[in-house]
Amino acid sequence: MRNRKIRGLIILVVLLVTAYYFLPMVVPNLPSFWTTKRLKLGLDLQGGSQIQLKVDDSKLPENEKEDAIKTAYEIIRNRIDQFGVAEPLIQRVANTNRIIIQLPGLKDPSRAKELIGQTAILEFKFVASSEQMQETYETMDKFLQENIEKYDFLEEFTDVEETEEIIDVLGTEEDIEDASYDNAMIFTDLTTSKDGMPLKIEYKHIAKLKSLLKDPQFLKNIPAGLQIALGKDDKNDPYSARDIYILHKRAEITGKYLDNAITKIGQGYTAKDKGPYIMLEFKKTGAKKFKNITGQNIGERLAIMLDNIVFIAPTIETRIPDGHARITGNFTIEECHDLVIVLNAGSLPAPVSIIEERTVGPTLGSDSIKAGILAAIIGMTIVILFMFIYYGLSGLFADLALIVNVTFIIAIMTMLEGTLTMPGIAGMILTIGMAVDANVIIFERIRENLAAGKTIRSAVDSGFNRALVTILDANITTLITALVLYQFGTGPIKGFAVTLSIGIVGSMFASIILVKAIFDGLITNTAKDKLSI
């Protein structure tokens, strides 16, 4: 009696979980407490986005190129896996430096592109002193005065009105150019916001500064040991002015010392301490280095940079002995998540460029998909009819178990946020056959027992017990095969292995536990002298 209660409880739990995750697929407008998860479809069934990347290995030695491409491939795979796109396809094009990524169901690949292309160079650099900043501004103003003809996009900062007046007086345009540009504070005016706040640049001038920062001649004239860097843009106000930083070129500590990056949510009282931020945890050697840096430079500003963008430049107020640092800056949860993925996955060994992107339809084509689904439905219908015709009422019990098994597979796939592909559907069909096969073995054993003169109850119990070893043996060996396929396979092979594994577990539950419970209920609660089997 106790065993039956436990079995009944197991059946109830499994059926409730199955209903909870399966019903939203077929019943609209369910109560709010029902799950919002839906079964995802693979690229072959629903289409998605395809991105082709090129690893720029042109500057690497010949003996390092192959390793760089392989490393980039693994890092990109790690990033995409953490990104959460179900069943992505990532493959290298033959032996070239190109990588193809297919992302099922992703119609807007912009976020994925940003994630893939980031090099994730994490650096901590000291902010220059006020004297060094002043020297930088004066030097760059002078350089631009003397070379303004090379930078026609900066003409608005050359005092045109004063030029016109001097031309009228002197009568020569050549004289005025020298007189005007000698006094023009071009770089200062470019990087000063309308509020007069220094080290800020208005949104409309950011493109001009970026052009300067890409110009080798301009960069060569920045005072030795210093660099100019932009601050992070404000996602809440993308057209706002951005900070500008004058930094020491030498990085005090880099991402190679990083052990882990974690997304955290601040619960502080000030706006600075609220919302998502990134907590950095350094390795043992990095923690020691960070402790020394912060201990010896109290009162200095230390900028935290990612890919040459300054996210935050706090003042060091005390030595930090535990090897922890925070990156803040009006992040959204998604931004934090993406940055954490990039930091933890590692830096790309070489720049990666996107050479092609397109939205793709279902790779199998709608006709092929319909034909495959129709074949599955026809096959299942034939199996159900065969079992009912050949085994009568007992066959109907097997059919019920079969339907439970299929819904169980779909429900568990939904719960695990798996992806259904056409190979996955093939795995599901295979488990349907295996589930029926188990019931066939059991029913044939029961028939043999009844023919031998046993009572119905004894025949049923003996039939299930004798068939159990055979069924377990067949299913466990198949399950081992599925696990090996999942471990060493990729893409569609993994999808096949997942549905096959879930189907094996579901078929054993439905064929052995559920059908046996139905037989027990039928035999125990009614006086039967004949069994339809």
Q: Structural domain boundaries of the chain?
A: 2-37+365-525, 48-118+356-360, 122-347
Residue whose structure tokens are 């031998």: 452
Q: Two tokens at 293?
A: 């840096």
- Say if residues 225 and 250 touch (Cβ distance below 8 Å): yes
- 230: helix, coil or strand? strand
Asked if 521 and 11 touch (Cβ cutoff 8 Å), the reply is: no
pLDDT tens for 39-77 read: 777 767 777 788 888 888 888 888 888 888 887 887 787
DSSP element (H, E) containing 259: strand 258-267
Whether residue 443 contacts residue 391, with contact meaning beta carbons closer than 8 Å, is answered with: yes
CA nearest neighbour of 103 among 49, 44, 40, 41: 49
According to the model, what pLDDT value does residue 366 have?
A: 64
pLDDT score recorded for residue 247: 95
Taking the C-alpha atoms of residue 146 and residue 140, their distance in angstroms, rounded to an integer, is: 10
pLDDT tens-place values along the chain, 533 residues long: 677 788 889 999 999 999 988 888 888 778 877 887 777 777 677 777 888 888 888 888 888 888 888 878 877 877 777 666 656 778 888 788 999 888 877 666 676 776 676 656 778 899 999 899 999 999 999 999 888 888 888 888 875 444 444 334 444 444 444 444 556 688 888 887 665 556 788 888 898 998 999 899 999 999 999 999 998 887 677 788 889 999 999 999 887 788 888 888 876 555 556 778 888 888 888 889 989 998 999 989 998 887 788 888 888 888 888 888 877 766 778 778 777 776 776 667 777 888 888 776 665 556 766 777 787 788 888 888 988 999 988 999 999 988 998 899 889 888 887 777 778 788 887 877 777 888 889 999 999 988 888 888 888 888 888 888 888 888 898 889 888 988 877 667 777 888 888 988 888 898 889 998 888 888 766 666 788 88
And the tokens for 425? 């559907």
Q: Are 187 and 140 in contact (CB under 8 A)?
A: yes
What pLDDT is recorded for position 223? 94
Round to whole Å and give the CA distance between 448 and 443: 9
Residues 356, 32: Cα–Cα separation, whole Å: 42
Strand 226-231's sheet: what is its strand order? 200-201, 242-248, 226-231, 309-312, 302-306, 122-126, 253-254
DSSP characters over 364-393: T-HHHHHHHHHHHHHHHHHHHHHHHHHHHH
What is d(CA 52, CA 358) in angstroms, rounded to the nearest whole number? 9
Q: What are phi and psi of 158, to 5 degrees?
A: -115, 25
Fold of 122-347: Gyrase A; domain 2 (3.30.1360)
Question: What pLDDT sits at residue 224?
Answer: 93
Distance of CA 5 to the CA centre of its chain: 43
pLDDT (tens digit per residue) in 329-360 = 667 787 787 777 767 766 677 778 888 887 76
**Of 353, 259, 276, whose CA–CA distance to 311 is shortest?**
276
Largest Cα separation within the chain, whole Å, is 127
Q: What is the pTM of this model?
A: 0.51
What is the fold, at CATH topology level, of the domain defined by 2-37+365-525?
Multidrug efflux transporter AcrB transmembrane fold (1.20.1640)
Residues 6+ apart with CB under 8 A from 174: none
The reply to whether 48-118+356-360 shares the fold of 2-37+365-525 is: no
Beta bridge partners of 305: 123, 310
d(CA 35, CA 256): 42
Query: How far is Cα 6 from Cα 502, in angstroms, rounded to an integer?
Result: 22
CATH number for the domain whose boundaries are 48-118+356-360: 3.30.70.3400
Paired residues of 310 in beta bridges? 231, 305
DSSP-derived secondary structure letter, 408: H
